[in-house]
Amino acid sequence: MTTIYEHDVIVVGAGGAGLRAAIAAHEEGADAALVTKLHPVRSHTGAAEGGINAALRDGDDWELHAYDTMKGSDYLGDAPAVEGLAQDAPEEVIQLEHWGMPFSREEDGRVSQRPFGGLSFPRTTYAGAETGHHMLHTMYEQVVKRGITVYDEWFVTRLAVTDDADPSERECHGVVAYDVATGEIAGFRATGGVVLATGGLGQVYEHTTNAVSCTGDGNAMAYRAGVPLEDMEFIQFHPTTLPSTGVLISEAVRGEGGILYNADGERFMFEYGYATNKGELASRDVVSRAELTEVNEGRGVHDDYVYLDMRHLGEDRIVDRLENILHLAEDFEGVDGLEEPMPVKPGQHYAMGGVETDEYGATCVEGLYAVGECACASVHGGNRLGGNALPELIVFGARAGRHAAGADLGDALIGTGRSGEVEEEDGLDLPVEPGATTGGDAVADGGAVTEAGSVVEAAVEAERSRVERLMERDDGVKHSEIRAAVQETMGNHVNVFREEEGIKQALRDIRKARERYEDVYVADPSRTFNTDLVQTIETRNVIDVAETIALGALARTEFRGAHWRAEHQERKDDEWLKHTFVTWNDGTPDLWYKPSVLEGEGGEYEPKVRSY
Amino acid sequence: MSTQEQEPATQEQEPPETESPGDRRRAEKQRRLAADRQAEAEAATTTDEETVLLKVFRYDPEVEDKQEPRFDDFHVPYEDGMTVLDALIYARDTFDSSLTFRHSCRQAICGSDALFVNGSQRLACKTQLSDLDAPVRVEPLPHQDVVKDLVVDMEHFYDQMHAVEPYFQSDDLPEGDLEEQRQSRENREKVKMSTRCIWCGACTSSCNIAAGDNQYLGPAAINKAYRFTMDEREADKKEHRLRILEQEHGVWRCQTQFSCTEVCPKDIPLTEHIQELKREAVKKNLKFW
């Protein structure tokens, strides 16, 4: 017996982007449902600390926000998406306020804003240093109020997509999900659309600010269903994470005036010329490289980290605006931020790339959308500015929710799939073949049948046999070993600093991980809350996603934004003002490119030297 | 199923009545697992490393040798700064991948990993092993149904949270220019602690009243209501909110034992908030006399 649940709009993931999408679809009159492998309030949006950029005040406007974002992206953002973010963010923030979000306030009772890295105006609205927590809970409250159906602890493992040869001809009819509590595998038919909002992929790295649940599920499922993954090589390493755990120390500490010192007590951002104007408030990629350079040149503390000092801000200001940072430093590093500087080092934080979408969140597959961190519209291009992730969630969450519910948002300016100026990559020197292994019976492919009536049913059947195969094996390799191997090679070779030979080694190691995954086994025999099985499925997603990151990193022979290559030390606009795409191509991945869209409402964004 | 049973580990190896290939497989797997676990646990105790002994509650209604609740021993190599969550992850990834617990963010914000550690409700991710007496006893939250191992059924907790109308009531943005509602800094400060709740359920699990009265809203839900009742932006809804709270299973059930306040990992003054709501309810009723 196959259970098929049916809704107009199915939203996969219930963090900030997913919740906003569901609310928007509901407001548009659709029957929306959220399907999440956690419970909504457990989502990692809750860990976002710093704030939400929105041009709300006199002296600021959306054009300035768009300009800053485009510069921060190192001119790899697509103007229609960047401008959409800047234009819609103010209304979305005001909407959150009217839903009751407890923003920090000025004396006159208005919402406070503070400076953030790479911004020409202090436009980051915030709620203490726990902005994401309040945003997540405020939107979940509105979901409860509206009675939107939530399937919590249902892990979506496969998209129900037709298998037309050309991915742009495919249609998404729904998803397949695994009920963690009972082990039931059920179908979810979406008559309007499926919105992927699965969040980050930080588990590709060992040292990450991301939750253990951030395994790139949406990216991997869309990829296997034929949707291009865009600019995957652009991974943001946040400059201030705690060395022992990867727990994030918000950029707000620097926004409020926090200072970085090396082991010799030098304020290196200025003294060594990394960013002589902006200093600590340079863009994140700039600060991360500066810190690692200090460590590599022997000026790090214990050859591992640098210090972030906020003591001079005074107890009142720290407690008022950064109290959460005191708790994090105390609980996870044993440091009293009022008395001592905090140890910090770069850690994986954010994926700029993701599932290719237009500026409404639509992918090239009919009925499939992606929003939030798993998507690439592209707003962030080569590097995301602090405070730009949260507005992305609500702006594009709302747009995709409305679009999936049938609203007419007009024609998109950003093309998807292999449309427009496509350039194939055929000269890449690969050390091993990427993609599916030959004997891999645990390989999940996205393709399903073309008969429109039975796509969801067929996908459920395919997923049942995949799970059955994983459960069947009595012995073999543990998923935790495979995941650790992938994390290790990515951390060693596809990190802040990247070299050609290292990236190739990572591709070899990922290949090995794929081969070992053929022998992966689930030791827990139970159908009840089998996290062993859940993590085994997640590990497959981690492998697929890691491979696309490494492929993009090898292909892009320039230094742009967060992507640094030892052999290629400049930004090459003549050759590389273009997005990288990787498509699964039924197991034999393809690489190709399309130019970035720099033509905005007020003319073309002229690539300039990015200095801070 | 209560967590108060304290059965010793049993090693019964009766052949199960196999009904299907799947059942047979599961039975085979669990025998193998038990043997592996024992071998690895023994290996760990013979090494010289400094280890911490974890005694972890195990139960699975579906797996034969886990149907009777028991405690398993895990010897985990100790490292400075190690938390209870780190130790559980080590035990799972190294010794027994069927060891089951919820966790996600690792930084005390997702609220997934509230557990009963050495007799009190704590978040595993922010509890240092160095602050605990060994052996460290890890159990699921008391007064909630156990689903498996350390995982409890949170549905009733969520129902209570939803029962206090935990949302701003107004629907649409006002017409005209985009503008926020004003809120004084004092008022934001007043609700600040109440807004920090991460829905971990530690408080409700620690509450004797909630244990005896399943309909009692409990400290977390009342705190959620406090957050809205005291927010000046919806002052006109205050009476409505107080009516929900003064019902039979509302604020008056609280006997100010402070157990919720003691266990809250976010230091929310829950008992104070409940007391303040009682005073507000009295004031509201006096108004009509």
Suggest the residue from A139, A141, A153, A477 to mutate for an interface test with chain B (most B CBs closer than 10 A). A141
End-to-end Cα separation, chain A, in angstroms: 61
Rounded Cα distance between A98 and B175, Å, is 13
Nearest to A176 by CA among A190, A191, A161, A187: A187
More confident residue, A441 or A486: A486
Same domain, B57 and B121: yes
Rounded Cα distance between B14 and B105, Å, is 40
Residue B10 lies in a domain: no
| Pairs of CB atoms within 8 A across A/B | 179
Q: Which residues pair with A175 in a beta bridge?
A: A159, A188
Name every residue whose Cβ is closer than 8 Å to that of residue B157 and which is 6 or more positions away in sequence: B144, B199, B201, B204, B218, B220
Query: ipTM of this predicted complex?
Result: 0.94
**Chain B residues within an 8 Å CB radius of A56:** 178
Q: Number of H helices and number of E strands within chain A?
A: 15, 22
Mean pLDDT for the stretch of residues A177-190: 98
Same domain, B86 and B130: yes
Q: Are A176 and A161 in contact (CB under 8 A)?
A: no
Structure confidence by residue, pLDDT tens digits, B42-86: 555 555 579 999 999 999 999 998 999 999 999 999 998 899 999
To which residue do tokens 């290559």 refer?
A: A565
Same domain, B54 and B146: yes
Mean pLDDT score of chain B, rounded to an integer? Answer: 89
Q: What's the pLDDT at B7? A: 43
Structure confidence by residue, pLDDT tens digits, B242-286: 999 999 999 999 999 999 999 999 999 999 999 999 999 999 887
State whether residue A37 sits within 8 Å of chain B by CB: no
Determine whether B239 is exposed, middle or buried from the number of CB atoms within 10 Å of its CB (0-12, 13-18, 19+). Answer: middle
Q: What's the pLDDT at A91? A: 96
State whether residue B231 sits within 8 Å of chain A by CB: yes
Q: Are A355 and A218 in contact (CB under 8 A)?
A: yes
Six-digit token string for A292: 């690692």
Residue B288, pLDDT > 70, answer no
CA distances for A429 relative to A12, A234, A512, A560, B205, angstroms: 36, 20, 18, 21, 58
| Structural domains for chain A | 1-234+352-612 (3.50.50.60), 238-345 (3.90.700.10)
Nearest to B198 by CA among B165, B232, B224: B224
Same domain, B125 and B237: no
Residue B11 lies in a domain: no
Residue B30 lies in a domain: yes
Pairs from B281-284 (Cβ < 8 Å, separation ≥ 24): B281/B242, B281/B245, B281/B246, B281/B251, B284/B238, B284/B239, B284/B242
In CATH, what number is assigned to the domain containing residue B85? 3.10.20.30
Mean pLDDT for the stretch of residues A193-212: 98
Nearest to A376 by CA among A396, A397, A357: A357
Q: What's the pLDDT at A610? A: 85
Residue B278 lies in a domain: yes
Residue of A nearest to B24 (CA): A525
Structure confidence by residue, pLDDT tens digits, B179-222: 999 999 999 999 999 999 999 999 999 999 999 999 999 999 99
Which of A134, A144, A328 lies closest to B167 in CB terms? A144
Q: Are A230 and A579 in contact (CB under 8 A)?
A: yes
Rounded Cα distance between B111 and B281, Å, is 30
Same domain, B202 and B283: yes
Q: Decide if B29 and A327 are in contact by the 8 Å CB cutoff.
A: no
Query: Domain count of chain B?
Result: 2
Rounded Cα distance between B79 and B66, Å, is 30
Structure confidence by residue, pLDDT tens digits, A118-128: 999 999 999 99
Q: Please identify among residues 553-612 of chain A the ones whose CB lies closer than 8 Å to any CB of chain B.
A: none
Domain that holds residue B134: 21-152
Mean pLDDT for the stretch of residues A311-336: 93
Mean pLDDT for the stretch of residues A304-310: 97
Determine whether A265 is exposed, middle or buried from the number of CB atoms within 10 Å of its CB (0-12, 13-18, 19+). Answer: exposed
Q: Are A355 and A194 in contact (CB under 8 A)?
A: no
More confident residue, B170 or A115: A115
Residue B15 lies in a domain: no
Helices (H), A8-130: 16-27, 62-72, 79-98
State whether residue A94 sits within 8 Å of chain B by CB: yes
CA–CA min distance B289, chain A (Å): 33
Helix (H, G, I), strand (E, B) or coil at A566: coil
Rounded Cα distance between A582 and B42, Å, is 48
* Side-chain-facing half-sphere of A2: CA atoms under 13 Å: 19
Omega within 30 of 0 (cis) for the link into B135? yes
Helices (H), A156-262: 217-224, 252-255
Q: Are A522 and A536 in contact (CB under 8 A)?
A: yes
**Chain A residues within an 8 Å CB radius of B126:** 331-332
Residue B75 lies in a domain: yes
Nearest to A196 by CA among A339, A420, A362: A362
Q: Decide if A90 and B61 are in contact by the 8 Å CB cutoff.
A: no
More confident residue, A281 or B8: A281
Nearest to B13 by CA among B40, B36, B32: B32
Same domain, B133 and B161: no
To which residue do tokens 């819609």 refer?
A: A88
Q: Decide if A44 and B105 are in contact by the 8 Å CB cutoff.
A: yes
Q: What's the pLDDT at B149? A: 98
**Chain B residues within an 8 Å CB radius of A522:** 97
Residue of B nearest to A135 (CA): B195
Q: Decide if A102 and B151 are in contact by the 8 Å CB cutoff.
A: no
Rounded Cα distance between A66 and A385, Å, is 11
Q: Are B140 and B150 in contact (CB under 8 A)?
A: yes
Residue A442, pLDDT > 70, answer no
Q: Decide if A529 and B168 are in contact by the 8 Å CB cutoff.
A: no
Same domain, B161 and B148: no
Same domain, B147 and B207: no
Rounded Cα distance between A353 and A373, Å, is 8
Same domain, B199 and B246: yes
Q: Which residues pair with B75 in a beta bridge?
A: B53
Q: Give the pairing type, strands A32-36 and A149-152.
A: parallel
Q: Which residues pair with B149 in a beta bridge?
A: none
CA A597 vs. chain centroid, Å, equals 21
State whether residue A120 sits within 8 Å of chain B by CB: no
Name every residue whose Cβ is closer than 8 Å to that of residue A434 and which is 6 or more positions away in sequence: A507, A510, A511, A547, A551, A589
Mean pLDDT for the stretch of residues B218-229: 98
Residue A1, pLDDT > 90, answer no
Six-digit token string for A407: 């609203």
Q: Radius of gyration over alpha carbons of chain B, in Å?
A: 23
DSSP A222-239: HHHTTPPEE-TT-EEEEE
Residue of B nearest to A93 (CA): B180
The helix (run of H) or strand (run of E) holding residue A542 is helix A531-555
Name every residue whose Cβ is closer than 8 Å to that of residue A78 and which is 6 or more positions away in sequence: A359, A377, A378, A379, A381, A414, A596, A597
Rounded Cα distance between A565 and A131, Å, is 34
State whether residue A144 sits within 8 Å of chain B by CB: yes
Same domain, B137 and B206: no
Please report, rounded to a whole number, the percentage of residues in chain A having pLDDT higher than 70. Answer: 98
Q: What's the pLDDT at B13? A: 44
CA–CA min distance B136, chain A (Å): 19
Nearest to A345 by CA among A270, A265, A249: A249
Residue B10, pLDDT > 70, answer no
In CATH, what number is assigned to the domain containing residue B228? 1.10.1060.10
CA–CA min distance A107, chain B (Å): 7
Active site residues of A: 284
Rounded Cα distance between A175 and A71, Å, is 38
Q: Please identify among residues 385-424 of chain A the ones whose CB lies closer than 8 Å to any CB of chain B.
A: none
Q: What's the pLDDT at A612? A: 81
Determine whether A424 is exposed, middle or buried from the number of CB atoms within 10 Å of its CB (0-12, 13-18, 19+). Answer: exposed
Residue B180 lies in a domain: no
Rounded Cα distance between A444 and A537, Å, is 10
Q: What angle do CA A450, A452, A455 make, to 5 degrees?
A: 70
Structure confidence by residue, pLDDT tens digits, A478-501: 999 999 999 999 999 999 999 999
Residue B240 lies in a domain: yes
Mean pLDDT for the stretch of residues A293-311: 96
Same domain, B237 and B215: yes
Same domain, B163 and B148: no
